[in-house]
């Protein structure tokens, strides 16, 4: 029985277990924001449990000690009435104190959360799309602004500021190991500040129903030591690698002459679409289609061939390609590390 209860509790709080060894659990806080919420939720849960037990105890006592039938049930006993009024007054007072106390605790937690990114050096703009995440690393120098998708690298041990917005419907950003959830709202910016105490891979999920493929809107935060993060950022800022073989060159030429360029940008080429994810270094990411497929050549081929069978309703159209053409485009995209 105890084991069953443990499983139920863990399942209720943890949600779906991530497939890739990434952490995704509000019960395993890995940063100050999630740790604060972790403390708060356990305090609320424990206090609520105590109050619930007290209420049930009083109810059972009342049932066990109920009065024998009296001759005149409507006759009032003055001393009993006084005692009852006393108890009700105490209970009302205790309820007010508990409510005020919990409100104050929430308030102080909110203050702690708001202070986490006070000296954040890194601002990342996250824009929700049906059904993927656009990630933009802000910088005063336009040449150092980086746009990528679905995977956020951050330096571990440093606070970062995430500015959240949306282009279509309301989404919600939730990486439970690192922070609470916050909505991405069209025409409005929300700010979420977090820090990953340790390097690691933290998975998240869109947490607001946003249409057909809401469930396939995963996100990953990869926290790494500062030097690794800097190296990653420098690499991502480079234009896309040049094709290295005849097949990759053929794939490049096809990409540039097909509708692909209408939606996708590949830095250093003529492809400049901004409707879909930026593909400059697409193969350096660990997943494809917002956490739906692992990133490899077979996933790329499957996705390009028939996106609707993998993510029905996704806005990626089918581009009519022959077998050789598909192989070339996959070879070229796989080159974009």
Chain contacts with ligand CUA (rule: CB under 6 A): 128, 131, 171, 206, 208-210, 214, 217
Say whether 190 sits in a helix, a strand or coil.
strand
State the nearest-atom distance from the C-beta of 217 to ligand CUA, in Å.
Answer: 4
State the nearest-atom distance from the C-beta of 181 to ligand CUA, in Å.
Answer: 11
Q: Which of 179, 163, 188 is nearest to 221 (CA)?
A: 179
Largest Cα span, the chain: 103
Token pair for 20: 């890739």
Return the number of the residue (117 or 176) whose C-beta is nearest ligand CUA: 176
State the nearest-atom distance from the C-beta of 328 to ligand CUA, in Å.
Answer: 33
Asked if residues 328 and 297 have their Cβ atoms less than 8 Å apart, the reply is no
Asked if residues 174 and 204 have their Cβ atoms less than 8 Å apart, the reply is yes
| C-alpha span between 196 and 156 (Å, rounded) | 5
| C-alpha span between 292 and 20 (Å, rounded) | 12
Return the number of the residue (204 or 307) whose C-beta is nearest ligand CUA: 204
State the nearest-atom distance from the C-beta of 207 to ligand CUA, in Å.
Answer: 7
- Residues ≥6 apart with Cβ < 8 Å to 252: 243, 269, 332
Asked if residues 20 and 201 have their Cβ atoms less than 8 Å apart, the reply is yes
Return the number of the residue (173 or 303) whose C-beta is nearest ligand CUA: 173
Asked if residues 219 and 133 have their Cβ atoms less than 8 Å apart, the reply is yes
Q: How many residues does the chain have?
A: 337
Return the number of the residue (164 or 301) whose C-beta is nearest ligand CUA: 164
State the nearest-atom distance from the C-beta of 186 to ligand CUA, in Å.
Answer: 12
State the nearest-atom distance from the C-beta of 315 to ligand CUA, in Å.
Answer: 13
**Which residues pair with residue 306 across a beta bridge?**
none
């Amino acid at each position: 029985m105890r084991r069953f209860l443990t499983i139920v509790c863990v399942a209720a709080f943890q949600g779906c277990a991530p497939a890739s060894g990434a952490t995704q659990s509000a019960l395993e806080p890995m940063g100050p924001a999630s740790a604060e919420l972790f403390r708060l939720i356990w305090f609320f849960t424990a206090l609520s449990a105590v109050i619930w037990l007290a209420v049930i105890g009083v109810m059972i006592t009342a049932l066990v000690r109920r009065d024998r039938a009296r001759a005149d049930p409507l006759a009032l006993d003055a001393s009993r009435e006084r005692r009852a009024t006393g108890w009700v007054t105490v209970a009302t007072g205790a309820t007010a104190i508990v409510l005020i106390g919990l409100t104050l605790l929430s308030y102080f937690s909110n203050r702690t959360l708001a202070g986490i990114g006070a000296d954040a050096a890194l601002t990342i703009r996250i824009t929700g799309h049906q059904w993927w995440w656009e990630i933009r690393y802000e910088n005063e120098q336009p040449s150092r602004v980086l746009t990528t998708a679905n995977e956020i690298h951050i330096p571990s041990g440093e606070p970062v500021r995430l500015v959240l917005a949306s282009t279509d419907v309301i989404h919600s950003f939730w990486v439970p190991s690192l922070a609470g959830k916050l909505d991405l709202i069209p025409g409005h910016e929300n700010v979420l500040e977090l820090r990953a105490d340790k390097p690691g891979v933290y998975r998240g999920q869109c947490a607001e129903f946003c249409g057909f493929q809401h469930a396939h809107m995963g996100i990953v935060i990869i926290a790494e030591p500062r030097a690794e993060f800097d190296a990653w950022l420098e690499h991502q800022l480079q234009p896309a690698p040049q094709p290295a073989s005849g097949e990759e060159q053929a794939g490049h030429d096809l990409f540039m002459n097909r509708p692909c360029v209408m939606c996708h940008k590949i830095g250093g080429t003529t492809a400049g679409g901004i409707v879909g994810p930026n593909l400059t270094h697409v193969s350096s990411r660990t997943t494809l289609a917002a956490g739906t497929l692992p990133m490899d050549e077979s996933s790329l081929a499957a996705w390009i061939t028939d996106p609707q069978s993998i993510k029905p309703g996704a806005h990626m159209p089918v581009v009519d390609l022959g077998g050789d053409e598909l192989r070339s485009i996959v070879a070229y995209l796989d080159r974009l590390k």
